[in-house]
Amino acid sequence: MESVSSVSLKHLLDPRLIGTGDTLDDWQLLGSSCQDCGRKFQPPRALCPGCGRATEHALLAQTGTVVVSTLVAQPAVGLLIECPYQIGLIQLDEGGPVIEAVAVRPLAPSGALPPGTRVELVLSELEVPLDGERVLFYRYRPIEAGSGGIQ
């Protein structure tokens, strides 16, 4: 396995990803949780918008269910992801929030995963290096496709 220390931390696309071990398989998505009402958030929030209480950092589930997804064929200006690509809203398990994520390649034959599809989050490299360095971020893929690792 590749060591987390071999990846430039300044180019982790999302600082909410945190290493929990020595390999790229060992990571978690960081969010926040309200200790009073139990709501979870991603990105983390200092205060709960529901009850106004302070939140605490929380590790979020890496599995969830597709709420909706679509195929993007035309890139946005400055986008560093090759088109076409799938993007979706994922309801995280364990009472987690709905997050936005890009799908792992190869794309679903229909161009989008149907609502209700079970998915997992995995680390992925940006197709176009930033400043010549690797950039990591999370993507989603159907659970049947395998588990863990860098995509």
For the stretch 26-36, pLDDT in tens is 677 888 899 99
Query: Do the bridges between strand 27-34 and strand 40-41 make them parallel or antiparallel, or are there none, so unpaired?
Result: antiparallel
pLDDT of residue 54: 94
Name the more confident of 124 and 143.
143
Q: Residue 2: pLDDT above 90?
A: no
Please give the distance of CA 58 from its chain centroid, rounded to a whole number: 15
- Identify the band that residue 10 occupies on the pLDDT scale cut at 50, 70 and 90: very low
Q: How far apart are CA 68 and CA 89, in angstroms?
A: 6
pLDDT digits (tens, 9 = 90+) for 18-70: 555 555 566 778 888 999 998 998 888 899 988 999 999 888 898 999 999 98
Contact 40, 58 (CB under 8 A): yes
What does the alpha-carbon distance between residue 20 and residue 122 come to, in Å, rounded to a whole number?
14
| pLDDT category of residue 92 using cuts at 50, 70 and 90 | very high
* pLDDT higher than threshold 80 for residue 79: no
- Tell which residue, 88, 151, 99, has the closest CA to residue 123: 151
Per the prediction, the chain carries an average pLDDT of 75
Distance CA 23, CA 5 (A): 8
Domain ranges of the chain: 9-144
Tokens describing residue 16 = 């909410």
Task: Kindly tell me if the per-residue pLDDT of 148 is higher than 50.
Answer: no
Strands 63-72 and 40-41, by their bridges, are unpaired
pLDDT of residue 91: 93
